[in-house]
Chains A and B, each alone.
Chain A
């Protein structure tokens, strides 16, 4: 039903990156087989040094293992924000479900948004292994005390935005997340493997939407180019501030949560997109984009980091709207959640009576 009748060339979206995901999955299995430490460390062992050894050996930290408090807190923050991004990220695309231009596209979009909700749940579950519960995290989001990805504060103004989001936003997400498949915290690494596989599929779908539009009527071509023009720099900004300004980077790299710097990943993304843009038949809106033979990479214009900071702080085009929407859904559903809890409690009490009778 949702199959792609379009088969992109080998190095088109997903191709090489999906291979990396599979390699990470194999590495994860190997790490598990190398029965690493015979259970818990001996009493009296220096836990900090033990933790460092495990990280050095590229083995995984699991929920019951000792870990530095800052490692735990940093991971909770990162995984929760990742989960929030999936949930808020349903809104820009959800905006076009009712207006999708064909039944096939409507089905694909519905399935995609559903996947995103699933990723959100999966990530919340990974965060919960660190000793916090989902309700707390959701409250932190609703109170504006935890963030979600800046990209979802941009509006979806045309159908082509569904293509641009798939190609660029999901593309950037995959480039960011593939290295996380090897991150030192086991539950997060496993979540990322699953998420990346689906994201890769989504990216192909976005690529296919744009490809169809870019080869369609003049109005469709204009729609495709307009979407790429609007989403290019916000997608580049998804990799975060330049390395010099990134607050969490050094520690995250040492703990093998992050494995590449923001700028390294951004460069990888640009290099990937340039080739794909040619296949798509769209222009990347950067007059200074050109191949640098010396660096064996593309030179490109940096996104506007002041804009990124404004959006992160709450002043992007849709921040207020996205938060209001999520708060309204949460508030409107309160009576339903209360009913479900009351019903479950009554059933449990009835069962207890039956047992004791």
Chain B
């Protein structure tokens, strides 16, 4: 069962951790245009995170703003899905993660626009346009890599196989949430399957389904990510930046 606070926090954490990972690509992308694109997407995710965390803080009513929520919670208090905290890996892993994330966020944000909560609806209206761009960008790359060279195809298939199990956590049923994630699965499949087919990739079988992010039981990766993200903020309690 989920209140609006938990729901906004989940979505905000997904976006924040995704932004942190995408930001790591800066200066490391395969081509300069892609450096710009990845920074652009990171910036969109960060913007969504700020709106969602700010709202979550207001719903909580304990005086926590976006920075208190981002920088002063420990890993056990983060509610992001495991998918977004996975390391970047090679470019194929990053594109597989981005494809799955945006194919989940697009119908989610779209559904938010009709959820009855005005703030969430407004956030959904803004962010779904960005998600559509992220989805377009990642779909194109998955196709290029899947249907590119032998090497890129091998890497893209391996990335999809590696990341796929983590998509299942995204759709765990929660009828009490403003948008029930289980209701998004069909939209996700309808977008992702044709992309994988066109990329000439094999669709992975359902099987191992790691989960735990939504209740604060994460992979070993998150604590390191937070250590880096929070180090400066935590070193200067109460400071303004």
Which A residues have a C-beta under 8 Å from some C-beta of B? 1, 87, 90-91, 94, 97-107, 110-111, 113-114, 117-118, 120-121, 159, 209, 212-213, 216-217, 219-220, 325-326, 328-329, 332-340, 342-344, 346
Contact = CB atoms under 8 A, between A and B. Distances in A.
A217 B236 contact: yes
B166 to A, nearest CB: 22
B149 A101 contact: no
B159 to A, nearest CB: 12
Nearest to A88: B27
B26 A97 contact: yes
Nearest to A219: B236
Nearest to B145: A339
Contact of B49 (A87, A103, A105): A103
Contacts of A97: 23-24, 26
Nearest to B24: A98
B31 A121 contact: no
B23 A90 contact: no
B36 A114 contact: yes
B56 to A, nearest CB: 13
B122 interface: no
Contact of B46 (A94, A101, A107, A217): A107
Contact of A337 (B31, B43, B70): B31
A335 to B, nearest CB: 5
Q: List the 10 closest A-B pairs by CB distance, nearest first.
A: A333-B30, A339-B148, A339-B152, A336-B30, A114-B39, A343-B144, A94-B27, A101-B241, A94-B26, A102-B241
Contacts of B236: 101, 217, 219-220
Given A339-B144, A342-B148, A103 B239 contact: no
B239 A343 contact: no
Q: For chain A, what secondary structure do more than half of its interface residues adopt (helix, strand, loop), or is it mixed?
A: helix
Contacts of B32: 87, 117, 120-121
A104 B71 CA distance: 12
Contact of A103 (B26, B46, B143, B152): B46
Given A337-B30, A339-B152, A98 B23 contact: yes
A40 B101 CA distance: 55
A207 to B, nearest CB: 14
Q: For chain B, what secondary structure do more than half of its interface residues adopt (helix, strand, loop), or is it mixed?
A: helix
Given A102-B233, A342-B152, 20 more contacts: A87-B32, A94-B26, A102-B67, A103-B66, A107-B50, A110-B26, A110-B46, A111-B39, A117-B39, A118-B36, A121-B33, A209-B241, A219-B239, A328-B28, A329-B28, A329-B29, A337-B30, A338-B152, A339-B148, A343-B145
Contact of B144 (A107, A118, A219, A340): A340
A102 to B, nearest CB: 4
Contacts of A333: 29-31, 34, 91
27 contacts: A1-B47, A94-B26, A97-B26, A99-B228, A101-B233, A102-B67, A102-B241, A103-B67, A114-B40, A213-B241, A216-B240, A219-B236, A220-B239, A325-B28, A329-B27, A329-B28, A332-B28, A333-B34, A335-B151, A335-B152, A336-B31, A336-B145, A339-B145, A339-B148, A339-B151, A339-B152, A343-B147
Interface in B89-143: 90-91, 143
A152 to B, nearest CB: 11
A98 B229 contact: yes
A220 B32 CA distance: 34
B36 to A, nearest CB: 5
Task: Indicate the member of A87, A111, A114, A212 with the most B CB atoms within 10 Å.
Answer: A114
Nearest to A87: B32
B20 A98 contact: yes
A212 B29 contact: no
Contacts of B228: 98-99
Task: Indicate the member of B30, B49, B70, B233 with the most A CB atoms within 10 Å.
Answer: B30
A102 B232 CA distance: 9
Nearest to A213: B241
A335 B150 CA distance: 10
A28 to B, nearest CB: 26
Contacts of B241: 101-102, 104-105, 159, 209, 212-213
